[in-house]
Every structure is written in C-alpha cells, then in structure tokens.
A and B are shown apart, each in its own frame.
Chain A
Amino acid sequence: MIDRRPTNDWPLLCVENLKVYFQSNGERARAVDGISFEVREKETVCIVGESGCGKTVSALSILGLIPTPPGEIVDGQIIFSGQNLIKLDEKEMQKIRGNHISMIFQEPLTSLNPVFTIEDQLGEAVKTHKSINAEELNRYCIQLLNDVGIPSPEQRLNDYPHQLSGGQRQRVMIAMALSCDPDLMIADEPTTALDVTVQAQILKLLRSIQQKRSMSILYISHDLGVVSAIAHRIYVMYAGIIVEQGNTDQIFRSTRHPYTQGLLASLPSLSKRGKRLYSIPGSVPNPAYKPAGCPFHPRCSHAILSCQDEFPEMCDYGEGHQARCPVLFKSKGYKGPNEMLKNTMS
C-alpha cells in the first residue's frame, strides 16, 4: 500500500463521479447517481439531505460496505491516500477499515455487540491492526474512555452495552472509532437518536477530538441545525445527486439552489410564529423512476421548460460555492430563503 500522507493542498478523500445502483424486482434504483466530493485534512464535511437522497449509501460505499448484490458501484472512483478504494480487494480494505478510516452509526445499541463487554469491543480494532499485549491494551482502553468523557472508565470496561445510557454508548462507539487513530472518521447520523442535551455534548466532543487529533470527519445528517453547527463545508444531496456545495456561511446565508432554499424556508422556529411554514410541494422521487432533466424540476417554482430535458450542470459562484441550477445562476435579484417565505405568504 502506498502510504502517502496528503499535504494541505491534496484532499484526504476524493470521490469522483460515484454511481451506486441497486437492482431488485426488475427495477434499477439509482441511489447515488454521479456525485463528486472531497474531504481535506482536519476538515468536517457534512453531506446533508432527506431520507432516500443517497447520503448513507455514499458513506457506506467508501468503506466497501454496500451489499453486492443487490447493490453495485457502477462508476466512479474513491481515492484515499493515493489509492482507489473501489479497486482494492477485501483483504486490503480490511487494513483500511477501523484503521485509517473508521465509522460510527446512528443507533449505538444495534451497532454494539450485546454479548461482549465494552473492553472486548474497544480492544478488537486495536488488536486487529496493532500488536499490543493485554496490559497495555487495558491501559489504552481506559485512556480512550477518558478521552471520550466517560466517568469511571475502569468500571465501565466490564459493562455490557445495555448497562450504559444512549449517550454513553455513542461515546463508546466514538472511542472504538478512534482506537487506531484514523485519518478519517465517517459519522452516519450519530446523534439522531439522542436527546438534545446529549447530542450537544457529543457534537462538542467530536469537535475537540478533531482538533486534538487533526482528524477529518465526514458527517452525514438530515438535521440542518446540527450541520450548521459543526461543518466547515457542506454538500446538499437530492435524489442521488449533489445540488449544492459550499461552506457553512455560503449555504446558510446565500443559498443558490431552490431545494436548499426550500429546506431552509421550511424549518420551524419561534421567529416564524403566525406565518405559514413554507413547504416544498410534492415529494421525493422514487430512485428507480427519476424524472428526466433536473430531478427536482417537478417540485421547483423556478423551473422552466429546459429543466425537463437537460440535466443541469454545476454553476460556480466562486470561493468553492457551487449550485446545480442554471436558472437561478442566470437570473438576477435573488436575495435569500426569506424571500421565498415572503412570496408564499401574499
């Protein structure tokens, strides 16, 4: 394996034109339909989108966790540290999983093995990738639990997952993901099942870990609030494609795609009391029967005739901000998501 650590101007992870399709019952679901994104060193990149947009499939593809069949990576590359992960065989992928790239999932209770102690599970990844004796391993596990803020770590090592709270289990999962000091951590909606105060602590923990360990995080979420709080850069996904990308400021202050605008406008808040919430008409298309042209056009108030036939290219607004809507790119006088809300109230 070529172990070429990336420099600052070379992305740690570079996904190019990834396509993942699922075949079942004679239907071909185009779950991920040509996405490109990158994660640089010490960065938190968020992929945000609603259910069915393809964000989880994208994350699982990186680690080769898509069941094949019915899934298949039909196109694209996933370049990590100079290698195309898609071309690696299972043995080579195992050296990467848990070691250079680790992952934490949404539901810690189902992701932790109920019949093994915390110590067994924490130590498993370490034993797989490093040579270490039992005493050193025990000390290392205690240190890991300390790093993720679990009190009385010595006692917790002997516990089983069901004896811990949801927040503590998630911390254990994070500790497991950190155990081999990965370059990249993929987090798939890790706080969705947690209470808001526990969620806040977990997000704070991830931030501090990232700073201490110079790690990159790829964070998958549907929660725009969470994303705005932790992301350096954001990719917005819809129906298997990326519709907008930019840094947090650009996405939340000057969004340039009708879908992102619609999402932001439909978020409830105290300040919108008394006004009707904007809601995007229609619903997400079936991945096996996507509309021609722009997949969002049937629900889009800005759609023109050409949106039905031509697949939109990414339009560049500069400084890394891009959006896949030529209509808005060409129009003038766009102000922001509040504009959309005002228009729907008259």
Chain B
Amino acid sequence: MESKNKNDHSILRIEGLKKYFPVRRGFLQKIHGWVRAVDDVSFEIERGKTMGLVGESGCGKTTVARLILKLLESDEGKIIFQARDISRFSEKEMKPYRKEIQIIFQDPFGSLNPRMTVGQCIEEGIRISGIKHASRRKERLEDLLKMVGMSPDSADRYPHEFSGGQRQRIGIARALSVEPSLIVCDEPVSALDVSIQAQIINLLKDLQDQLGLSYLFISHDLNVVGYLCNTISVMYHGHIMEFAPSEDIFNHPCHPYTISLLSAIPDPDPDKKWYVKLSNGPISDSDGVLEGCKYQDRCSIAETACRKDRMVFEKVGENHFVRCWKAAKNI
C-alpha cells in the first residue's frame, strides 16, 4: 500500500506485518504447520484520527494490537511509530516509547487489579510520567478522574465497587495517565449496555478532541466503527481485505467479505429485510487455505485464479484499497 502521507501526518504506519504461530504435533513436538495469524498487514493511522480494525473472532485483530504494543515480536514487517521504526527495538530502546502507546481492554471486570484502589492503579502511570511532587501527583489524579467523568473520591475505592461502564472509565484514565499519543482500544464497548456504550463512545471522542489522541479501534461491531472511525480496515484470517474511509466502506464496499459482513448486520429499519440477502453456505472455520485468496471457500464470486494466485492489495479509489482482483476490476 503506497503511503502518500509522509511522517508528519501519520502517527503509526504498519508495513507487511507478519506473525506466524507454529503448530507442533507429536512426541517430538515437530512443527506441523503454521497459523498465519497476521499475514502481510499494512495500514496507516493519521495523527489525531481513528482507524477501525474490524473482523470476526480469530481474524487476527487482537494479535495486531499485541504486535503494535510490542507485547509480541513480529516475524517480519515494519512498525513505524512517529517516524521511527520500532519493530526491532530492544526492550531498552522501547522504554521511552512504552508510554506513547497505551491500551484499553474489552473486559472492564478483568482488566483492573482487584487488590488496588482506583487511585493506586492510576497513580502508577502518573509516577511513570515523571511528576515529582506528591501534591502535584494528587492534582493530576483528580484531573484524570474528572476528565473521564468520575468523582475524585473514587480514588479510595476498589474496582468491584463500580459498574462495568465506570470501570471502563477507570481503564481509560489509567491509559491517559502516562500521556500517550496513540491508544489501542480493543473492543472497549462490546461488554457494555447500549446506554453506557453511548456514554463511553462520547467520552472517547471528547478526549480525542481535547488531547489530540489517535486511536486504533478494534471491534466486531460495524455500527460503532462506522460512527467513530475515520478509516476502516477489514480483516479476515490474517489479511486486510479492504481499507477505506468509513463512508466508502459502508456506501461502496468492494470486497465480497466486506459486503457479507455489512449484509449480516441486523438492521433496525423494519423495511430493510436484511436476512433475505444472506448466503446459505456453511462457514468453514479452518485455516486450511494454503494457496490463493483466504476467502475462497466462502466467496460467492471465487474463480480458478483465486485459488492459486496471491491476492495483492490494489487501489480502487481515493484512499481505498481492496485485496480482490475481481472487485478491483469491476470498479
């Protein structure tokens, strides 16, 4: 994917990222094959903007998050953050960058240490951000809590005393405590009720406007992604199948997988009988596709060429790319 934006505009650029996990069998644990969890993934996130990464379970989106956070080492590819290639950085070299990229998790109940008060949890980050005086740290703690819509006296309470939505706010305050520039949001609202979801989405948007944050927003919920994200990458079995600005993904989807995802969203408009357009084919869960397009087993327009050739990411519009030679030809 050509990057027309030079380093000034992009906060994160991923090029040809790969992560393969070995499958070991037998007494001697010989390598039997590879799970190609992340396979030639490339995208770019502009400073101050949000990119959505959508796909179904097992597509590799959480692995991408871990690679970006350097919780996992990639096998190949580049991770260019703020114009530096951090993909092969040692732990020592990564240290100053750790605070720049933070994460908010999906499970508000599992991601907070139950033995630490809210204040202790957030203070860890405040101390790392280098504020020396205790009174200034306390001020910062109060500011952070207010920023996420929590009262300052939450600091002395424990996570179990709060609801799911409130814990998510605490998680956001924790991520903000080290003053990051990029936050990976891994399904942050999937476990929340509709009315709380709206509150958290509004909060994330406000914080982005106030602090100039960039987000990588991982979700399987296309409605949330369509609302919040500037651009969207659609992922399937380790591959990015389509990338475009949100309006184009929804209004001019190209890849057959994107089209099937969009048609599967139950539509609250009772006039649109969405279920009529669904295909009847069974969904294969195997990653057994070794040659050709990964989507060939489920694809309604697959041909012989799709089963042999490696699909390339092709440009089909202004900032719109698709990994399907047929879809690209039809534009």
Contacts and interface: CB of A to CB of B under 8 A. Distances in A.
A266 B227 contact: no
Contacts of A283: 163, 165, 196
B222 interface: yes
Interface in A250-300: 252-253, 262-264, 266-270, 272-273, 276-280, 283-284
Given A151-B282, A252-B268, A197 B198 contact: no
20 contacts: A50-B193, A165-B283, A200-B274, A203-B266, A225-B265, A228-B269, A252-B268, A267-B223, A268-B223, A268-B224, A268-B226, A269-B227, A270-B227, A277-B201, A277-B202, A277-B227, A278-B198, A279-B196, A279-B198, A284-B193
B300 interface: no
Interface in B182-198: 193-198
Contacts of A51: 193
Interface string A285-319: 00000000000000000000000000000000000
A277 B263 CA distance: 24
B97 interface: no
A228 B278 contact: no
Nearest to A282: B195
A226 B202 CA distance: 24
A227 to B, nearest CB: 8
B275 A273 contact: no
Given A197-B261, A207-B275, A266 B195 contact: yes
Nearest to A223: B266
Interface residues of B, number: 40
A229 B274 contact: yes
Nearest to A276: B202
A46 B163 CA distance: 26
Given A197-B264, A277-B201, A279-B202, A224 B270 contact: no
B267 A229 contact: yes
Interface string B218-236: 0010111011100000000
Contacts of A198: 56, 283
A153 B145 CA distance: 55
A266 B220 contact: no
Interface of A: 50-51, 149, 151, 165, 167, 195-201, 203-204, 207, 222-226, 228-230, 248-249, 252-253, 262-264, 266-270, 272-273, 276-280, 283-284
B111 interface: no
B270 A249 contact: yes
Contact of A200 (B57, B163, B226, B275): B275
A197 B263 CA distance: 9
Contacts of A276: 202, 205
B176 to A, nearest CB: 20
Given A196-B220, A199-B266, A200-B278, 7 more contacts: A195-B220, A197-B261, A199-B264, A200-B263, A263-B194, A270-B226, A277-B227
B303 interface: no
A280 B193 CA distance: 11
Please indicate which of the listed interface residues A199, A201, A262 has the most CB atoms of chain B within 10 Å of its own CB. Answer: A201
Interface in B230-267: 246-247, 250, 260-261, 263-267
B270 A50 contact: no
B113 interface: no
Contacts of A195: 56-57, 220
A50 B247 CA distance: 30
Given A229-B275, A252-B270, A270 B247 contact: yes
Contact of B197 (A249, A252, A264, A266): A266
Interface string B115-145: 0000000000000000000000000000000
B267 A196 contact: no
A230 B267 CA distance: 10
